[in-house]
């Protein structure tokens, strides 16, 4: 189970994270408020939280509040919450044809779903010592141990089974807009796939009444039929509504239902997933990011648990809604679909589609729109277009080293990437600001995420040495500063992964206070508390053989969204920003920071 940290530990960790962000006077005030909270109302809330947690052993203390946080948020899901991960191309280039790839990936997705629902999907396990635990013999032995104690058997060989309670929402699921708080809806009985092309909606069954998958050649035939349909794009594309403010969309949805669209919406909501087929090829990686992060809202349904997007040249990606689950579940699905569709593709470039009557099997959904709905769609489109217009996406690949060299030098690759972000922001804006790094707590029952706070007194000191006082430090001193940052970041990462961060605990206490109708404690009214939760640098990382790149929008209007990966011999960064910040310049500063850090680690003088 996810532990509730000790209150004194949480307050200590919180103050450590505040230190680099505040001047001495501000820090003193925040420290006073924190200690008063710890001794007073915070202590009472903490005891109530622990008692409540002990009564609810079937779940974790963060589950309810976290779902609520996502589902009560009224901002549009696109750009604010939905993230994307794009697939690597199929190694066999002739398989990157839009129809072939769409068929193969759809078939692999259904295989994954059937395997999962039948209880045969291999459990997700984090292996700290794979030589011992990621072996056939371990799997054979653990299979016979009763599940109530099997996790303990895994712990003995340093294998950590991860929570998979989110996985069922991957399929047949959608987020339904409601006033004040949305709902998650899942209908596992539905057998159809939703396909969007050119703003038009199509559905067809992909499993029969016995639960058997349609022949791949039939799926291919139906997709071919959709790709060759030359119906014009609708004048009022419904997809735009899913990009609206949630309350606005909730009212428009009510109107849609009252206007005779209940059956069509039911088909959309219950579909296995949404396959979006785009009619253009990808120009470059920036175009790829725009396409997968937001694309054309006419051809997306952002409320579905995920959209599988495939462009004209067979480039594929996933855009996923975030309330139901985290990147870990989506990544597992993506890895399996990539592996299955490339290693054992259901169809080949030589395959012929089945000779079936697709015009009967495929249903095109028609929506009845009144003037209010048409006006709603027009307004949604204007807002969406303006937001997308103001969004910048930029990226770099640093080719002068990666994980291998950093491990050789005994520093944490993740710590170095995060240090480079701190150094870059200092160089560009002469400030240290609230920074967020996402860390999964899936090692615990119903765990979600915890925050790592990468901005520390160590990164601040090191960044200032590199950016402002270079001439005062020897290469050896700079190396020691990097090592110091790496050790501290390693400690924060370990704490977060073990459920020992401070963010979720403080969030849980605040949620409890408001659910009991209490006045908001002074601690939470501190400007410094608001500032540390206004995450100007929001970061998330993943490395996978299936994924080319991933990204998300800034979480605040004056922030950066940083998706990054540290590979064996290179480091990639994908940065999103709005006009309040210059993402291109930030990336140049990151590049410069990485160059400097690598020079120092190699024992060279910077700039030599």
pLDDT band at 308 (very low <50, low <70, confident <90, very high): very high
- How many Å apart are CA 549 and CA 334, to the nearest integer? 12
pLDDT band at 377 (very low <50, low <70, confident <90, very high): very high
Q: What is the mean pLDDT of residues 512-525?
A: 97
At residue 81, does pLDDT exceed 90? yes
Query: What is the model's pLDDT at position 129?
Result: 87
Q: What percent of the chain has pLDDT over 70?
A: 100
At residue 161, does pLDDT exceed 80? yes
At residue 155, does pLDDT exceed 90? no
Query: What is the model's pLDDT at position 157?
Result: 87
Query: What is the model's pLDDT at position 156?
Result: 86
pLDDT band at 151 (very low <50, low <70, confident <90, very high): confident
Query: What is the model's pLDDT at position 150?
Result: 86
Query: What is the model's pLDDT at position 7?
Result: 98
| The model's pTM | 0.96
Q: Which of 195, 199, 268, 278 is nearest to 234 (CA)?
A: 199
Planar angle of CA 513, 557, 305, nearest 5 degrees:
70
Q: What is the mean pLDDT of residues 160-169?
A: 94
pLDDT band at 108 (very low <50, low <70, confident <90, very high): very high
Q: What is the mean pLDDT of residues 400-417?
A: 97
Q: What percent of the chain has pLDDT over 90?
A: 93
User: pLDDT, tens digit, for every residue of 87-100?
Assistant: 999 999 999 999 99
Catalytic residues: 322
Task: List the structure tokens of 475.
Answer: 């290469």
Domains of the chain: 7-68+392-602 (3.30.559.10), 80-120+169-390 (3.30.559.70), 125-161 (1.20.1280.180)
Query: What is the model's pLDDT at position 504?
Result: 98
Query: What is the model's pLDDT at position 520?
Result: 96
How many C-beta neighbours within 10 Å does residue 94 have? Answer: 11
Q: What is the mean pLDDT of residues 213-232?
A: 97
- How many Å apart are CA 137 and CA 448, to the nearest integer? 31
At residue 212, does pLDDT exceed 80? yes
Q: What is the mean pLDDT of residues 465-478?
A: 95
Helix (H) or strand (E) run with residue 201 in it: strand 200-205
How many C-beta neighbours within 10 Å does residue 494 have? Answer: 12
Query: What is the model's pLDDT at position 371?
Result: 98
* Phi and psi at residue 10, to the nearest 5°: -60, -45
Query: What is the model's pLDDT at position 608?
Result: 64
pLDDT band at 160 (very low <50, low <70, confident <90, very high): confident
pLDDT band at 31 (very low <50, low <70, confident <90, very high): very high
User: pLDDT, tens digit, for every residue of 424-457?
Assistant: 999 999 999 999 999 999 999 999 999 999 999 9
pLDDT band at 561 (very low <50, low <70, confident <90, very high): very high
Query: What is the model's pLDDT at position 261?
Result: 98
* Phi and psi at residue 250, to the nearest 5°: -60, -45
User: pLDDT, tens digit, for every residue of 280-303?
Assistant: 999 999 999 999 999 999 999 999
User: pLDDT, tens digit, for every residue of 350-361?
Assistant: 999 999 999 999
Mean residue pLDDT across the chain:
96
**What is the 3-state secondary structure of 409-466?**
CCCCHHHHHHHHHHHHHHHHHCCCCCEEEEEECCCCCCCCEEEECCCCHHHHHHHHHH
């Amino acid at each position: 189970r996810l532990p509730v940290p000790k209150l004194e530990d949480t307050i200590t960790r919180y103050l450590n994270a505040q230190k680099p962000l505040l001047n001495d006077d501000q820090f003193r005030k925040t420290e006073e408020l924190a200690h008063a909270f710890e001794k007073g109302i915070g202590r009472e809330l903490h005891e109530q939280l622990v008692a409540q947690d002990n009564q609810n052993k079937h779940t974790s203390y963060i589950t309810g509040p976290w779902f609520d946080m996502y589902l009560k948020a009224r901002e549009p899901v696109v750009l604010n919450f939905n993230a994307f991960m794009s697939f690597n191309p199929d190694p066999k280039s002739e398989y990157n044809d839009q129809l072939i790839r769409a068929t193969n990936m759809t078939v692999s997705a259904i295989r994954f779903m059937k395997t999962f629902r039948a209880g045969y999907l291999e459990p997700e396990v984090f292996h700290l010592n794979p030589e011992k635990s990621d072996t056939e013999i371990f799997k054979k032995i653990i299979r016979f141990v009763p599940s109530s104690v099997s996790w303990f058997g895994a712990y003995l060989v340093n294998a950590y089974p991860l929570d998979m309670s989110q996985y069922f929402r991957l399929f047949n699921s959608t987020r339904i807009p409601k006033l004040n708080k949305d709902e998650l809806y899942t209908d596992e009985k539905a057998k159809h796939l939703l396909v969007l092309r050119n703003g038009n909606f199509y559905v067809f069954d992909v499993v029969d009444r016995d639960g058997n998958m349609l022949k791949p050649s039939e799926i291919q035939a139906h997709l071919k039929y959709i790709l060759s349909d030359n119906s014009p794009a609708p004048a009022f594309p419904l997809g735009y509504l899913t990009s609206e403010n949630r309350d606005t969309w909730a009212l428009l949805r009510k109107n849609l239902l009252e206007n005779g669209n209940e059956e069509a919406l039911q088909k959309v909501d219950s579909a296995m997933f949404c396959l979006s087929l785009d009619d253009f090829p990808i120009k470059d990686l920036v175009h790829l990011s725009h396409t997968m992060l937001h694309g054309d809202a006419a051809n997306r349904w952002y409320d579905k648990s995920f959209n599988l997007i495939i462009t004209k040249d067979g480039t594929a990606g996933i855009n996923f809604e975030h309330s139901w689950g985290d990147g870990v579940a989506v990544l597992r699905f993506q890895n399996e679909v990539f592996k299955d569709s490339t290693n054992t593709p259901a169809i080949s470039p030589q395959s012929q589609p089945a000779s079936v009557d697709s015009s009967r099997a495929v249903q095109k959904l028609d929506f009845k729109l009144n003037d209010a709905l048409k006006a709603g769609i027009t307004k949604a489109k204007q807002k969406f277009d303006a937001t997308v217009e103001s969004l910048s996406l930029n990226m770099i690949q640093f080719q002068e080293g990666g994980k291998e060299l950093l491990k050789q030098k005994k520093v944490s690759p993740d710590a170095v990437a995060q240090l480079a972000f701190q150094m870059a922001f200092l160089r560009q804006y002469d400030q240290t600001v609230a920074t967020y790094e996402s860390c999964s707590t899936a090692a615990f029952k119903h765990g979600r995420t915890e925050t790592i706070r990468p901005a520390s007194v160590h990164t601040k000191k090191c960044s200032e040495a590199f950016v402002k006082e270079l001439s005062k430090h020897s290469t050896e001193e700079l190396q020691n500063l990097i090592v110091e940052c790496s050790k501290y970041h390693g400690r924060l990462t370990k704490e977060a992964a073990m459920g020992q961060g401070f963010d979720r605990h403080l969030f849980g206490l605040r949620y409890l206070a408001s659910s009991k109708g209490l006045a908001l404690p002074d601690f939470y009214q501190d400007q410094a508390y608001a500032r540390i939760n206004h995450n100007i640098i929001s970061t998330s990382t993943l490395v996978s053989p299936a994924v080319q790149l991933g990204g998300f929008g800034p979480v605040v209007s004056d922030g950066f969204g940083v998706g990054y990966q540290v590979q064996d011999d290179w480091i990639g960064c994908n940065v999103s920003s709005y006009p309040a910040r210059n993402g291109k310049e930030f990336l140049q500063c990151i590049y410069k920071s990485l160059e400097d850090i690598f020079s120092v680690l190699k024992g060279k003088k910077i700039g030599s």
